Structure 1
């Protein structure tokens, strides 16, 4: 939580307000996972199966809306083209696949500007194979963590201890952890494919490259970090990276459509029409030019996969590293994957290879224990360990041109659909007030005039909050019938820790109710909760419950008994028996 007078270290952040629904039938997950304490990993014997959203307590409407939004992006927009030609998405929750959707086209264009004849368009299928681009980095990272687990690599040891040639030009102190967390000091990228003539010289160029920043001083996302780790894995394993990924990750998990240089090119989604290098329409070969110049197998890019294969990988991690009796990582290693090693770089939370808590594509699923990655070709994977959920969206957004723009909005919409399908329970009674997430809006919840006596009064309520830091919840009071409002300072009490705010709060992360208390001066006054969102990213919004105003003479307002006393503009009263 971000309090406007301070940033409380003890509280961290508050998250995820949501709709309010009835608990699911016995033996099924209720749709209140955002208000449950983190239960840790799923049972290791959890195996994915299909189920309807409602059967696991999820609200179907937000998921259906997310599907419709993805389909909408495949229509020609004012730019004269769709945001992307096609997409395949999958959502999982508590070991169940609750949505799997394919739409649009795996192949639509002949070149960067020309559509193929309509009868030559090829539709997306749920088993379409996609170039994952930088999502490939997760496979390399898992391969590295397997070496750490075996004791063959130490996280804090210099990379040069395992790859002596990497020490060139001042890199002898760069650690394995710094490569995995993009704090090595490396530059972001080099044009390996065009500046060096062959694979050996390209790898040497990475090994020889001096640092741009001092190790550990800066967060800078870099392909070179993972290229280096891929080379290290190959050297320590004594076999190519594609063989390592197959033998130690995909084969044990039983996923058969994931790997490098796919042989079934007809099932792949086309990517870009490239003129430099002159590759034409790229399909079934890695899009990334550097990975292509390295033979299609590199630590930073090159993996192809399907949504169902990535769902299995996600569930294996949610299970603590195991699936169908096969273990690819220990529970301790999975914890390391999703532990933030970048606390020194706020906003750039990073585990070992996995990005953490990145609202710009994770949207309302984001939190300290939400891990994932994106890929340049239009791919994203979001794994939320707190709710045991995942949202995977694969598109061919570079087909036919990388210049058609970002698909981050679609990534957020897909993640938001799953997050919004989950709900919270009221802290007290059967109902609570909730304001959902819409960009660029202001919503208010206002009390009637309250006759606070000369000795003052006391406001108390329960708060559940998930907003980005620039989407603010204001607590305000008015003594002139609502003509003017001033901020009301308040205390937030969370499991025995108290922090003070000057009337404004924002943030996310802890996914639990907290208590709020405020002193009220004497005099007749109204109180209101005002939630303002900007035009950027969204969380789940705000929930308020059990509002009580007391004076020396007794209770002046009991929100549980008299919810009709409030005036709501954009807020809604949601209960256990409704999905808002």
Structure 2
């Protein structure tokens, strides 16, 4: 398919999402091997009449893309610099984790387990209702019961990437935001990327795509967690209920503050699991680390290759190191589960998504990388995003032939 046809396909896909009210606007960057990159922006930054049009410089809350744009490369750089090993026990670097529930099992959690979401830690907890700061979060995670033994299953866990962020700060003796700026953003020319944009002189002047009006979606998540505790007659339920009912939930439209409540309320906007803001242009610059031999940030190519491969066996869903792995090439259960990158990716493809409506998928067999930034959480969280996202990826990747084919 020629470039014009691909541009029209991307425009059509974004326009469909806008017309369905899934998001007010979006920006897409597509790179194909040995061809100029394609950039398409459609719609507005927000739902208001006076909102500006989306451009490649519109600043988006990347949500969980933070995991692969900050935490993953910093862990890999830490391996290169001899500061840690992927096989290290997490308790070696964070001894506080072994001071709570199930010390013997928690000592078996390795860094690679956190990276592949196979640690046995639960997916999410509303810790922000009860405490804030690294030490409080470490204490609360230490008190959590394991939901399975390390390496047995895959459960996507924010808690695991919070711990990875804490580990990075320990081994480098520096704040995570400063590490990311020094080792990733500045060398890559990512001048419009960072945590806490309201306190960042450059980012503060950007057009920032708004998020949800208040946080009713995450409040509902907290309520569901408490209902589960109450149904199980868990003695902790009353404390969580009181904390939830007395909490000062945000009410206004969120713009320039991280949407994720644990990152915002609990960790001052900076975490290994969420908190990063960036633009389409800068995320494209970041992906050179994974796709270009002359990237200014050099991570050993064998380490990059290892990180991009599926590592969790027959577990569902299929995970690489940090990244989500393509379901293609997996078991029938994994294929049936699918992946956020759609159905047409090769078994070598890797990617990730962010809850706010962001995604990266790269397929070496097609020689293509696709970045999509939207704010599907504005003005409310739209649940049709997952179906739109898979169709979006299917339509665009199907237009790109595998490398070496005519």
Which range, TM-score by smaller chain?
Answer: 0.7 to 0.9
Cα shift at 1:314:
1.6
Matched, 1:303 2:309: no
Cα shift at 1:424:
6.3
Superposed CA offset, 1:98-125 (max 9, x none): 32111112122xxxxxxx4x3x233212
- Give me the whole-angstrom Cα distance separating, in 1, the residues matched to 2:161 and 2:6: 36
Aligned to 1:282: 254
- Give me the whole-angstrom Cα distance separating, in 1, the residues matched to 2:292 and 2:6: 26
Aligned to 1:401: 380
- Give me the whole-angstrom Cα distance separating, in 2, the residues matched to 1:244 and 1:365: 36
Q: What TM-score do you get using the length of structure 2 for normalisation?
A: 0.81
Aligned to 1:137: 67
- Give me the whole-angstrom Cα distance separating, in 2, the residues matched to 1:400 and 1:227: 27
Which of 39, 53, 57 does residue 100 from structure 1 map onto?
39
Matched, 1:335 2:305: yes
Query: Do the aligned partners of 1:365 and 1:384 also contact (CA within 8 Å) in 2?
Result: no
Matched, 1:61 2:8: no
Structure 1 residues 261 and 270, CA gap change in structure 2 (3 angstroms): same
Query: Do the aligned partners of 1:70 and 1:87 also contact (CA within 8 Å) in 2?
Result: yes
Matched, 1:148 2:79: yes
- Give me the whole-angstrom Cα distance separating, in 1, the residues matched to 2:341 and 2:81: 32
Cα shift at 1:360:
3.4
Which of 344, 364, 383 does residue 385 from structure 1 map onto?
364
Query: Do the aligned partners of 1:356 and 1:367 also contact (CA within 8 Å) in 2?
Result: no
Count how many residue pairs are aligned between Structure 1 and Structure 2: 353
Aligned to 1:360: 339
Structure 1 outlier segments of 4+, above 6 Å: none
Query: Do the aligned partners of 1:66 and 1:416 also contact (CA within 8 Å) in 2?
Result: no
Query: Do the aligned partners of 1:192 and 1:202 also contact (CA within 8 Å) in 2?
Result: yes
Cα shift at 1:408:
2.1
Q: What pairs up with 1:59-138 in 2 under 5 angstroms? A: 60-75=4-19, 77=20, 82-94=21-33, 96-108=35-47, 116=48, 118=49, 120-138=50-68
Superposed CA offset, 1:521-576 (max 9, x none): xxxxxxxxxxxxxxxxxxxxxxxxxxxxxxxxxxxxxxxxxxxxxxxxxxxxxxx6
Cα shift at 1:349:
2.2
Aligned to 2:212: 272
Query: Do the aligned partners of 1:105 and 1:121 also contact (CA within 8 Å) in 2?
Result: yes
Matched, 1:418 2:396: yes
Superposed CA offset, 1:191-220 (max 9, x none): 011122555423421244231211111111
Aligned to 2:317: 348
Query: Do the aligned partners of 1:89 and 1:391 also contact (CA within 8 Å) in 2?
Result: yes
3-state SS in 2 of match to 1:336: helix
- Give me the whole-angstrom Cα distance separating, in 1, the residues matched to 2:132 and 2:38: 46
Matched, 1:209 2:179: no
Query: Do the aligned partners of 2:117 and 2:155 also contact (CA within 8 Å) in 1?
Result: yes
Structure 1 residues 73 and 165, CA gap change in structure 2 (3 angstroms): same
- Give me the whole-angstrom Cα distance separating, in 2, the residues matched to 1:417 and 1:91: 13
Superposed CA offset, 1:463-520 (max 9, x none): xxxxxxxxxxxxxxxxxxxxxxxxxxxxxxxxxxxxxxxxxxxxxxxx99xxxxxxxx
Structure 1 residues 235 and 99, CA gap change in structure 2 (3 angstroms): same
Q: Which runs of 5+ in 2 are unaligned?
A: 220-248, 328-337
Considering fraction of residues, name the structure with more helix: 2
3-state SS in 1 of match to 2:37: strand
Cα shift at 1:255:
1.2
3-state SS in 2 of match to 1:228: helix
3-state SS in 1 of match to 2:339: helix
- Give me the whole-angstrom Cα distance separating, in 1, the residues matched to 2:15 and 2:389: 13
Query: Do the aligned partners of 2:26 and 2:374 also contact (CA within 8 Å) in 1?
Result: yes
Query: Do the aligned partners of 2:10 and 2:40 also contact (CA within 8 Å) in 1?
Result: no
- Give me the whole-angstrom Cα distance separating, in 1, the residues matched to 2:188 and 2:402: 33
3-state SS in 1 of match to 2:398: helix
3-state SS in 2 of match to 1:92: strand
Query: Do the aligned partners of 2:97 and 2:138 also contact (CA within 8 Å) in 1?
Result: no
Structure 1 residues 162 and 424, CA gap change in structure 2 (3 angstroms): closer
Q: Which runs of 5+ in 1 are unaligned?
A: 1-52, 109-115, 426-510, 513-575
Aligned to 1:255: 190
Cα shift at 1:241:
0.5
| Superposition CA RMSD, Å | 2.2
Which has the greater radius of gyration?
1
